[in-house]
Amino acid sequence: MKELINNLLEFSNKTVRHTSYDINGEPIEPYWSEWTFVRRYINKIDNVEDIHNHIDYWHDLENDEITTELYEFLGLTLDDYKLWLKKPSDLESILEKYKHDHF
């Protein structure tokens, strides 16, 4: 009985982290990780409006933390980024192209 109690105490003291996985079985990370907005969108983690969270995060980075251009950080090509800037309402159709390109 004492061993069971010790095991329960040891388990309760551990941090249990729930990890979600994408359709390919890879762990899903928060938007400030290696996962781009496009990848999170493709995996149905983010919706179109969530792009603004990623942009805000990028703008909040310190200069020495910025290692990519914004379009790269989002996971867009430069051409697609320019298309989106010209016509923001086309973002969903641009993103749908990525779904078809990746699957």
- Which residue type does 5 have? I
How many angstroms separate the CA atoms of 43 and 21, rounded? 9
The pLDDT confidence band at residue 79, using thresholds 50, 70 and 90, is very high
Dihedral angle at the C-alpha atoms of 69, 72, 76, 78, nearest 10 degrees?
50
The pLDDT confidence band at residue 35, using thresholds 50, 70 and 90, is confident
pLDDT of 45 reads 85
Kindly tell me if the per-residue pLDDT of 90 is higher than 70.
yes
Q: Where are the domains of the chain?
A: 31-102
Whether 46 contacts 33, CB under 8 Å: no
* Mean pLDDT score, 37-52: 90
Q: Report the candidate in 61, 71, 63 with the shortest Cα–Cα distance to residue 94.
A: 71
pTM of the model: 0.66
* Mean pLDDT score, 53-63: 89
Neighbours of 88 (CB within 10 A): 10
* Mean pLDDT score, 11-23: 45
